[in-house]
Structure 1
Amino acid sequence: MTSIKTQLPYDYYSLPFCSPSKKQYIPENLGEVLRGDRIVNTPYQVKMMENKTCTVLCAKTLSVKESEVIAQRVKEDYHLHMLIDNLPIATKYRTEDFSEIHYEHGFKLGFEKNGKIYLNNLLNMIIKYHSDDGESYRVVGFEAQAASLGKLGTDDPANIAPEQKCKFPDNVDGLFQEINPKGENKITFAYMVIWEPSNIRWASRWDSYLNMSDVQIHWFSIVNSVVIAIFLSGVVVMILIRTLRRDIAKYNEEDSMDDTIEESGWKLVHGDVFRPPRFRLLFTACVGSGVQLFAMALITLVVAMFGMLSPASRGSLLSAVVFLFVFMGMFAGYFSARLYKTLNGQKWKRAALVTGTLYPGAIAGLAFLLNFFIWGKHSSGAVPFSTMVALLLLWFGISLPLVFLGYYFGYRKYPYEHPVRTNQIPRQVPEQVWYVHPIPSNIMAGILPFGAVFIELFFILTAIWENQFYYLFGFLFLVFLILAMCCSLIAVVVVYFQLCAEDYHWWWRSFLTSSSCSLYVLAYAIFYYINKLEIASFVSGLIYFVYTLMMVFTFWLLTGTIGFYATYYFIRKIYGAVKID
């Protein structure tokens, strides 16, 4: 059971539904467990090509406490989810103008009308099938029609009148199955099964579930992102062609060297531009974690783009993300070590430990804290203790050793070569104009990368918080590449102007400039929470904001690392192109 109002999934049998003689929980992968899925069998008897009219499942007498819980779940707009042949149940509805058909995942537990609570106690299962030869049949659709019928039967289900069929009558007061939350309730549960032929082939059976009417909006997102990227590219090309080539040509003219030094400022700091930054151990740990996240994201998107992580494989995307992150620890250690050695770092073991624990430690701490609140609500979204142990073993048993292994090989390599030597005495940084200071420049720099991704961000948030499928990974891959380009270009532009102002403290600035778009992601997530969601309870709001902080921190490390490496390459190139005595 799920609800977009609480974001707390619950086990199906957390409510007093009819249950089989023996409950069998299906083993689940890591992604399903982390999502809160708990798949268990039900007493519904469904046989291939066998229709069922009125079939009573069971009769229940609900206690006052059970009635209160059901009434509360109905008020919170919970939906029930079922599977047949790995195909989820969905409720079909039409748009207001009846022009398009859409599907809503699951079916409603009940509804509230005129201050009263009603339970959907009749489920009509419409199962669509396809046959090529008339002898073999495949399930290609699973639709639900849920109804609340108060006149379904008597106290004894066996005494239901034969003429009383499970139809969907005109809903009038008195025919609904009302739930009195302050007293006992007698409920009869029933179901119907209807098999319908369909032209949908088995390979295309997920298309109706994944049908999105907003593909044009995705294309608009791509065009919007491309325009922003072209604009930024034009700015950088203008700098490189008009300014840098002129500067370099003048710097290399020995006769006018003295005049050139007075005209431009970026060459004046050549003796300090590669001076190690403050907190270099933390800086290299952030960059290493960013490399790990970048490799994970790139591989995940490429694999998903080819359909290998589709929603039909429940939990596969989340499982792939976790395992790829664990095994990308080797890259985190290697790139962090080479950078740390370049910055004259000596304590490589401590640096490796910080790199291996910075991001996973922050995520694990937030998740562990959140888990206590979810446990308190008895939700299936709480991560079981055994799964927590398994995740810790993945972290300390695989990821951290791989980071140390990568650090060992990376630290043994030669450091990155710099085209100029660093002076012994640091140069004094002159007074800067206001727009070159970190806060104003970062605020302005973060707008363009965020503008390239905010439309796609809306669909991602909708998929996460409104129980929708997200499958357009081709669009997401293109947006990811454009985001990387925008982060690189904006970091290069800002750092270039900073160096022209003779401020050589560019290491952290390059990281923070490109990662400043994460602050806009945070602001947009708050806007989405206020305007799009109906979350009211404390725990539900806590779930949203803790996961938002995880997402923003991930985005911060990822975009900051992209901007840093682009700027590092740019600076080495421009200082390698001039003659320096």
Structure 2
Amino acid sequence: MAFRRSLPVRSFAISALLLVLIHVANCFYLPGVAPEDFQKGNTLNVKVNKLTSTKTQLPYSYYSLPYCLPKKIVDSAENLGEVLRGDRIENSPYEFKMGEPQMCKVVCRITLDAKSAKEFKEKIDDEYRVNMILDNLPLVVPLPRRDQESTTFYQLGFHVGLKGPITGKKDEKYFIHNHLAFTVKYHKDLQTDTARIVGFEVKPFSVKHEYDGKWDEKTRLRTCDPHAKQTVVNSNSPQEVEENSEIIFTYDVQFQESEVKWASRWDAYLLMSDDQIHWFSIVNSLMIVLFLSGMVAMIMLRTLYRDISRYNELETQEEAQEETGWKLVHGDVFRPPNNSDLLCVYVGTGVQFFGMILVTMIFALLGFLSPSNRGGLMTAMLLLWVFMGLFAGYASARLYKMFKGTEWKKIAFRTAVMFPAIISSIFFVLNALIWGQKSSGAVPFGTMFALVFLWFGISVPLVFVGGYVGFKKPAIEDPVKTNKIPRQIPEQAWYMNPLFSILIGGILPFGAVFIELFFILTSIWLNQFYYIFGFLFLVFVILIVTCAEITIVLCYFQLCSEDYLWWWRSYLTAGSSALYLFLYATFYFFTKLEITKLVSGILYFGYMLIASYAFFVLTGTIGFYACFWFTRLIYSSVKID
């Protein structure tokens, strides 16, 4: 939309707000989620989505290759998450009639030039898949499992083509999948005599079609029979991809009645993973939690109880001076740390992250984030991040006031800008790389504008509102007074070295989640569905407990060593699990992925760096608040003169 210079600023702001509201509305618009009843003879329009590859991680639009074009290309309305995912949903020349099988239907005929042949060969080399959609169901290729004969594995999309030698020759050739045998599964309603689509499958073939005479619309192919009752093609002579190759695109469609009801049609897509492995993950994590809980219980019930009883029984100052341990540092334990402003910013950002993830998981558990709403999960997380800015400002301002800070606006601004600015900088560089590859995954200017508006138009003001409310609250009072002169910290044992204890502290939180992390990475980078949010929520709860307990244990050992610099260490102890997350992502890259291109590798590590940084902020904040609660609890339980 173009704006004239004479328009006032208020009109521009209203228009920008409307743009964002459209994006928000699209987020909750579920295309095709409502059951659609089809009668025999109704037209079924197949839509095409992006071309995807697990080798490059760079999506491209379907019509970036010279496939058959419809009379007019129409783009489907997409929400914010779909655009960020690189989805490009458009109409196609593939049209079916409900309940009417078609055999050897010709779509179009093309002749490849040198450029088109090269483009097809590059996509075949990189193992790109074609994604299609019918009634909001993604197209799948049924494949038998190697380990289980009775079950079927579904591959999302079919490969553009394949590469291999011709019989009797050594040279490898490129072949294109130009004949598609579709199977549309439907569930029939006997009362209304209507049907609902519950499955969309395909078997791709490479066929060098032959015909007699000159080509026209009525030409009959000799390589497939349009009157056959099932797919019969001559696949002994596959269609090569070479300059000046004539390619005829054809398809069959069969309709198959299914007992699967419409409400359960996504189950085949979502239940492909093995639940036993997830249960193993849960049991593994629970063992870690039980071990830590035992240590915390021992500290809290035995050691601390004994310490507090002994300290409260002391009668003279001389006896108090003879005591050692965590009570000796009571005059310094609540001394504000170095870079306290930065700690406030990180804690506030962590609260924002925690709120976003918690609410997202609750919505997912309740079934609001259906996989049929492509991009819904990402859009919901973005919007929740924006609105959770209110809690970020509140948390950072409350902590800032406890540290005797006075400039709450400065801390609110840093909380609102610092973390998103770092993420945006990395994202902008990665987006420039994607744009340089002419991929559909590049975020367009309009979406960039919407993201910036969500940030500065909604998130930043909410952070300031939260900061104002938090700063107006009475300051959190320390349970003990702080001495004016800092106490000297005695020389520490090697195992209490800050770096060593911080690195040790991150191992157990990572160990509690790393098995589930494998499935999440597989979903993101190998183009599979992840919808086991029940398991994920359990793992998230276990992660919270593990971060809190390991931080409390190490904080107690630190205070017993008369080291009172616990503020930053409590944050870094749990936050160091992000380092192990990034190292695991590196291990996953070299063992599970087949990425060879430099740009694709940079994209992988760039996005995993963003994820690891976010994980650092989240776990660090959990550890900080656990240690904060623990120290206030133990120092408010002893009598100190």
* TM-score calculated relative to the size of structure 2: 0.88
In 2, the alpha carbon distance for the partners of 1:153 and 1:111 equals 24
Contact 2:210 2:223 in 1 (8 A): no
Coordinate RMSD, CA, aligned: 1.4
Q: Does 1:126 align with 2:188?
A: no
Cα distance between partner residues in 1 of 2:535 and 2:419: 27
Partner of 2:519: 459
- 1:20-69 residue CA offsets vs partner (Å, 9 max, x unmatched): 11100001000000000000000111121111011000000111011001
Is 2:555–2:570's contact at 8 Å kept on the other side of the alignment?
yes
Pair 1:99-2:150 in alignment:
yes
2:241 alignment partner in structure 1 = 179
Give 2:21's aligned residue: none
2: CA distance, partners of 1:321 / 1:477? 15
Offset, 1:153: 4.3
Runs of 4 or more, structure 1, over 3 Å off, are: 152-155, 161-164, 166-172, 255-263
Letter paired with 1:246 = R
Pick which of 47-56 and 324-333 moved more. Answer: 47-56
Match status 1:20 vs 2:70: yes
2:350 and 2:617 in contact (8 A); partners too: yes
| Equivalent in 39, 56, 62 of residue 89 of structure 2 | 39
Which residue, out of 97, 113, 125, partners 1:75?
Answer: 125
2:34 maps to what in 1?
A: none
Match of 1:537 among 582, 597, 603: 597
Residue in structure 1 matched with residue 334 of structure 2 by the alignment:
274
C-alpha contact (below 8 Å) 1:261/1:267 kept by paired residues: no
1:148 aligns with 2:206: yes
Q: 2:532 aligns with which of 465, 472, 478?
A: 472
For the pair 1:569 / 2:629, whether they are aligned, the reply is: yes
Letter in 2 for 1:139: I
Question: Matched residue of 2:468: which SS?
Answer: helix
CA deviation vs aligned residue, 1:395-449 (integer Å, no higher than 9, x gap): 0000000001100110111111211011111111111111111211122111111
Query: Which digits, 9 at most, give the CA deviation of each residue in 1:279-323, with x for residues without a partner?
Result: 111110000000000000000001101111121111110000000
TM-score normalised per structure 1: 0.97
Distance in 2 of aligned mates of 1:153 and 1:359: 63
CA contact (8 A) 2:502 2:573 kept: yes
SS at match of 2:90: coil
User: Is 1:397 matched with 2:457?
Assistant: yes
- Residues 1:350 and 2:410 aligned together: yes
Post-superposition CA distance 1:127-182 (Å, at most 9, x none): 0000121611000000011100013546625322478327455743xx101112xx
**Number of residue equivalences:** 577
Match of 1:165 in 2: 225
Q: Quick one: which amino acid aligns to residue 182 of structure 2? A: M
Partner of 1:116: 173
Q: C-alpha distance in 2, partners of 1:261/1:319?
A: 59
C-alpha distance in 1 between matches for 2:225 and 2:367 = 44
- The counterpart of 1:9, out of the listed 59, 75, 80, is 59
Q: For the structure 1 residues 163 and 149, does the alpha-carbon distance in structure 2 shift closer, same or farther, using more than 3 Å as the test?
A: closer
Match of 2:197 among 114, 129, 139: 139
| 2:396 maps to which of 323, 336, 343 | 336
Deviations 1:96-152 (A, max 9, x none): 252321100011111111221100001111000001216110000000111000135
What is the distance in 2 between the residues matched to 1:230 and 1:447?
A: 16
Offset at residue 214 of structure 1 (A): 1.1
2:194 alignment partner, SS class: coil
8 Å CA contact retained: 1:269, 1:504 = yes
Alpha-carbon shift at residue 257 of structure 1 (Å): 6.5
- Between the two proteins, what is the percent identity of the paired residues? 52
After superposition, give the CA deviation of every residue in 1:381-400 in whole Å (9 maximum; x if it has no partner): 00001100100000000000
Question: Per the alignment, in what secondary structure is the counterpart of residue 122 of structure 2?
Answer: helix
Return the alpha-carbon distance in structure 2 between the equivalents of residues 248 and 282 of structure 1: 33
1:548 has 2:608 as partner: yes
Counterpart residue number, 2:17: none
Following superposition of structure 1 onto structure 2, how do residues 249-264 of structure 1 map, counting pairs within 5 Å?
Answer: 249-255=309-315, 258-259=318-319, 261-264=321-324
Letter in 1 for 2:152: I
Whether the 8 Å contact between 2:551 and 2:570 is mirrored in structure 1 is yes
1:183-214 per-residue CA deviation (whole Å, 9 max, x = no partner) reads: 22211001111100000000000011112241
- SS, match of residue 337 in structure 2: coil
The answer for the alignment partner of 2:280 in structure 1 is 220
Letter in 2 for 1:472: I
**Corresponding position of 1:387:** 447
Further displaced range: 254-263 or 229-238: 254-263
Distance of 2:256 and 2:272 partners within structure 1: 24
Please say if residues 99 and 255 of structure 2, whose CA atoms lie closer than 8 Å, have aligned partners that are also in contact: yes
Aligned to 2:488: 428
The answer to whether the 8 Å contact 2:209/2:223 transfers is no
> Secondary structure at the residue paired with 2:67?
coil
Instruction: Name structure 2 gaps, 5 residues minimum.
Output: 1-50, 166-171
* Alpha-carbon contact 1:54-1:190 (below 8 Å) kept: yes
| Corresponding position: 1:445 with 2:505 | yes
